[in-house]
Chain A
């Protein structure tokens, strides 16, 4: 328990910032949804023809999985809080619109007849009778929307929007339960506090409540102040010039991106620390982005300047070309195409090849004499495979594997990379689509099966950078040059192991490695604290 207390305390400052971000990520969309949703609810109440249309559109939006919606918005809004706020607003809309309509529809007809009969104008009827009578139901809708937003906002970290989801994602990526809890517990508390707070307001608003008016005013005041305060903070952040705009090339700030798994954190740190050590540029780390597409989009939008990518992924996922077995050929091809099509440059590879690797428990391999992928074919019909969603879809993943090896598993389960290794070690699945440099292969006593037909394409890792940034800062290439060829499969696996199993921070692992290779100048050491 003291360990936990210390752990929380050591992250105090970051935790506070994340909580604040999370409140903003919740409050802004809820606020916008109120401003849009309440008038929309009133409108559909008065226009029955528009009603089913509006309710089904907002309803359909609600059924789109949050990650899909966030990803869909990327090309238009890039990464960061903007797509998150748009997506969260869309989700918050339905409960508010529906409850506004329901609240109004629940007013007794005689009340409205009396209002008309004694001479209310339309606006007076809305302000004095309809809104106040519907308000408890409307507030209940706002309550639902706010609580939903707290939950969905944790997912916004996938696209770099920050908030408590950052801890959760990072914890999942690094297989670090304490980090997950550091995000999940405050998020749950936040949801409960918001739920209870608005609940009290809702109760106080019920018609015919005596002595409740002071309370209502007080609560409303508090909520308005909170919303306004958030809005101001947000506006201040948004207007700060360095924030999300594609400013990197000229401002002396280099943004380094990275995907959401351990190796990417380490590679990103290696790049970042080399730049910090050997240039005067400032580095902003935008790690933990939710996938290849998101990183690529962020590069193209100028929201990040570079990130580590794999040649095989670039070839198949980004360029959508067929698999080629020869590593050099692949590297040359992506290098040429990236330059021509995107204005991006592939720097020299780090050295290792992190390809997909069909992986099994070492014990099972010994028992059934599995060495190559071919050896699996006879028993595949009784095996359960845990594959990442990407692997299940990609041509160089399971579909190709079936074709080339004639491999067909009894069942395949869609699994997050963070839990895949654990699931295999525990016996929940029998085969996984591991990555050949993953530290957990060693740690969990797993075995990589040989790809004797050369099916998996080469996945050499190398930094991909915007050419305009490299031109503006020629010192970048010099700073990164020592990383070329420095990491073998073995070394990479070891570094991953230190993070995944020994629970060291990627920053510290990268730092120690660079120190051992005498690649750092002393001054970077002081920057290390507080990053994880």
Chain B
């Protein structure tokens, strides 16, 4: 279990805080999505978990250990890390990229090759086709699969994913999301997933934490977030996709589901008073 307790982060010696008093618990085997727009502090929060960034205040624990007591290199190797730009090593083959963490840990080459093949298979890339290619020879989607395989190499308990599919086209994104769901249930990893895409959050998250201006607005299952937005920001955040669904239903000549109608009801009073009611 990963727990963040009263975590604050300032990048300018305390003048402003990009993360303010964040409290989160991520249970074993669950996927927690950090949802927010840019500047919400979601990436900073994620990067504090593997100590790429150190918190200004607050404590982060892994099981019952303060991560400050864990060597950062060891900590990072025990957590897979996937980023939007992938960051593959252009001078190494796909196979070498995938098994790089094993190399860092001093595992023999034979074992690394076998593990790389296994992982490539797992993310849907045929090892005999792709092992010896270089990153430049792959499509964006294929590169990100390699990125995911790399994160899984050392069989970590945790996966940290920072908008991993943000740069992909809609079709590739959808496919790879489905595969992540499949992997998740097969491998039972604990995943912290950062995104600004509400549909992605709803698709992948067991629970969603909505962040805005450095503060957690609401944490809950997708269903609770949709039906009971806790703050005006969350409500507003969900309104736009709801309208898209409404449009979709109308075009299809279908009835709008009643729960959606609920969230789409116009505010009875000018904004400011209404959200307080809704949050009750």
Interface residues on B, range: 20 to 34
CB distance from B164 to the nearest CB of A (A): 11
Nearest-CB residue, chain A, relative to B160:
A117
What residues of A have a CB within 8 angstroms of the CB of B137 in the complex? 208
Given the interface pairs A110-B86, A128-B103, the reply to whether A117 lies near B81 with Cβ below 8 Å is yes
Give the complex CA separation of A124 and B73 in angstroms: 11
Chain A residue at minimum C-beta to C-beta distance from B89: A129
A binding-site residues for B, Cβ under 8 Å: 108, 110-121, 124, 128-129, 132-133, 207-208, 210
Q: Are A208 and B81 in contact (CB under 8 A)?
A: no
Measured in the bound complex, the distance between the Cα atoms of B135 and A129 in whole Å is: 14
Knowing A117-B81, A118-B81, A208-B136, say if A111 contacts B87 (CB, 8 Å).
Answer: yes
Whether B90 pairs with A207 at a CB distance below 8 angstroms is: yes
How far apart sit A128 and B101, CA to CA, in the bound complex (Å)?
A: 11
Q: Is A118 within 8 A of B100, CB to CB? A: yes
Would A117 and B52 count as touching, CB distance under 8 A? yes
Given contacts A208-B135, A208-B136, A210-B134, contact A114 B76 (CB under 8 A): no
Q: Which secondary structure characterizes the binding site on chain A?
A: helix
Contact with A along B77-89 (1 / 0, CB 8 A): 1001101111111
Determine whether the beta carbon of B104 is less than 8 Å from that of A117.
no
Interface residue from B52, B74, B135 paired with A116 (Cβ < 8 Å): B52
Question: Chain A nearest CB: distance from B45 CB in Å?
Answer: 15
13 contacts between A and B (CB under 8 A): A110-B85, A110-B87, A111-B89, A111-B90, A112-B87, A114-B89, A116-B52, A118-B77, A118-B81, A118-B100, A119-B75, A128-B89, A133-B91
Chain B residues within 8 Å of A116, by CB? 52, 76
Complex interface: chain A residues within 8 A of B87 (CB): 108, 110-115, 117
Residues of B within 8 A of A108 (CB): 85, 87
Find residues 120-162 in chain B having any chain A CB closer than 8 Å to their own CB. Answer: 132, 134-137, 147, 150-151, 160
When distances are taken between beta carbons in the complex, the residues of chain A under 8 Å from B52 are 113, 116-117
> Contact between A207 and B134 (Cβ–Cβ < 8 Å)?
yes
B136 proximity list for chain A (CB < 8 A): 207-208
Give Cα A124 to B50, complex, Å.
18
Tell me the minimal C-beta distance from B188 to chain A in angstroms.
Answer: 21
User: Does the CB pair B86–A119 fall under 8 Å?
Assistant: no
A207 to chain B, nearest CB (A): 4
Contact B104 A120 (CB under 8 A): yes
Q: Which chain B positions have C-beta within 8 A of A129?
A: 89
Q: Is the CB of B91 within 8 A of A132?
A: yes
Contact B134 A118 (CB under 8 A): no
Q: How far is the CB of A314 from chain B (nearest CB, A)?
A: 63
**Bound: A115/B85 CA distance, A:** 12
Chain A residues whose CB sits within 8 angstroms of the CB of B150 once the complex forms = 118
A114 touching B91, Cβ below 8 Å: no
